[in-house]
Amino acid sequence: MKVVIMAGGRGTRISELFPDIPKPMIPVCGIPVLEREISSLKEQGFTDIILTVGYKAESIMQHFGDGRKYGVQIEYFVEKEPLGNAGALFRIKDKLTEDFLLLNADAMFNVDFNRFVKFHKAHNGLVTLFTHPNNHPYDSGLIVANKEKKVEQWLTKEDKRPKYYQNRVNAGLHVINPEALDLKVTTDKVDLDRQVLKPLCSSGKIYCYDSPEYVKDMGTPERYETVCKDFENGTVEARNLKNKQKAIFLDRDGTINKYVGFLRNIEQFELLSGVSEAIRKINQSGYLAVVVTNQPVIARGEVTYTELQEIHNKMETVLGKDGAYLDGIYFCPHHPDKGFEGEVKELKINCNCRKPNPGLLLQAASDFNINLEQSWMIGDGKNDIQAGKNAGCKTVLIGDDEFGQDITVYSLLEFVNQIVC
């Protein structure tokens, strides 16, 4: 599979640190970020690369040459004048005869591209976007998708966004079928997001691939410093899903938000004190933060799937404003007992996902390659502890009771400060 890397950027926001270096050549621990990207691709079998270059193109071409030094084959397209971030694609379209990877050269990433490509091929779409949560969704482009991962909306920074939204950010990594480029372009300068990809939303042909793997923009001095620290401490490599992950599984009600019984009204959702700080520290620790929650209100007919999604959107929005994020949210909609007015009969079943059964944790472990023995389950009830034990995790209870848990605390933040930090 060909890989097209857009490496023409100047990097105006970070120019105060590197005024004479093109953004793809900015060093991360002594090696240009583009070189680290190419090395990661080569290790995974992606060796046919096209670099689109512009600003100080000669310095990039001189450094990489034809790629043989790095075990790859590199071709170049040189932009004589700025073509936007997609204009070059239409100039090299004849070279793109099958699905290809399209990547940015100005971000630090380390992801399992074979897993990404496998998802794309299984869904047979025109485009698959690599999406992830981040700690600043309020100023990032957001992707809205349905349960089948089909993209329904693309909210760019200038678009008005809803009050509450899912923290699903476009990471700038794509798998694209050349048919997606079969649109008439009337200008040389083309914006990939706004002119090519955003119009495909709601077509049923564009999907999102959600992953907690490491992809970070390094366009500001602060973000660049974070990337360098993450590389030095091993976080960048460790987050690749080819490696086993470790997670902190979080119950929702009574652990993240105030317990109000069955939460049916979004206005009742309120974060507990210290939760944002705790989850922010989990994000920085190398653990994944994954919510696993029983939601029998769906089966009981008291909350719809749409209403539950909106509650979870509120949770993600509030956390995002505090610089925290969740890597995954898993819920069980079932309830075994019948006889409720308005109940959804097909959801009135005994299932493997309702805690104390371990199904939600096992599904997350499969999705994110999680080592359950190195992971924790934390909640405020017996079912949480039993679910954690049934999955093979270490367990933490918030409260005073004794259910055989490994650790007892009085808040999520206490646990994080005691064990994680």
Q: For the domain that residue 411 is a member of, what is the CATH number?
A: 3.40.50.1000
In tens, the pLDDT along 209-220 reads: 999 999 988 878
Say yes or no to pLDDT of 16 above 80.
no
Task: Give yes or no: residues 206 and 250 share one domain.
Answer: no
Span of 153-157, 356-360, 403-407 with lowest mean pLDDT: 153-157
Say yes or no to pLDDT of 98 above 90.
yes
Mean pLDDT estimate for the chain? 93
Task: Give yes or no: residues 199 and 285 share one domain.
Answer: no
Q: Looking at residue 169, which CATH number applies to its domain?
A: 3.90.550.10
Task: Give yes or no: residues 410 and 332 share one domain.
Answer: yes
Task: Give yes or no: residues 189 and 280 share one domain.
Answer: no
In tens, the pLDDT along 279-323 reads: 999 999 989 999 999 999 999 999 999 999 999 999 999 999 999
In a domain? residue 230: no
In a domain? residue 193: yes
In a domain? residue 226: no
Active site residues: 251, 253
Average pLDDT of 372-397? Answer: 98
Task: Give yes or no: residues 44 and 131 share one domain.
Answer: yes
In a domain? residue 142: yes
Per-residue H/E/C for the chain: CEEEEEECCCCHHHCCCCCCCCHHHCEECCEEHHHHHHHHHHHCCCCEEEEEECCCHHHHHHHHCCCHHHCCEEEEEECCCCCCCCHHHHHCHHHCCCCEEEEECCEEEECCHHHHHHHHHHHCCCEEEEEECCCCHHHCCEEEECCCCEEEEEECCCCCCCCCCCCCEEEEEEEECHHHHCCCCCCCCCCHHHHHHHHHCCCCCEEEEECCCEEEECCCHHHHHHHHHHHHCCHHHHCCCCCCECEEEECCECCCECCCCCCCCHHHCCECCCHHHHHHHHHHHCCEEEEEEECCCCCCCCCCHHHHHHHHHHHHHHHHHCCCCCCEEEEECCCCCCCCCCCCHHHCCCCCCCCCCCHHHHHHHHHHCECHHHCEEEECCHHHHHHHHHHCCEEEEECCCCCCCCEEECCHHHHHHHHHC
In a domain? residue 299: yes
Task: Give yes or no: residues 11 and 156 share one domain.
Answer: yes
Tell me the residue range of the domain where 150 lies.
Answer: 3-221
Count structural domains, the chain.
2
Average pLDDT of 387-405? Answer: 97
In a domain? residue 234: no
Say yes or no to pLDDT of 78 above 90.
yes
pTM, to two decimals: 0.92
Which of 221, 253, 270 marks a domain boundary?
221
Task: Give yes or no: residues 207 and 267 share one domain.
Answer: no
Task: Give yes or no: residues 216 and 258 share one domain.
Answer: no
In a domain? residue 236: no
In a domain? residue 254: yes
Which of 168, 189, 221 marks a domain boundary?
221
Which of 221, 256, 282 marks a domain boundary?
221
Task: Give yes or no: residues 283 and 251 share one domain.
Answer: yes
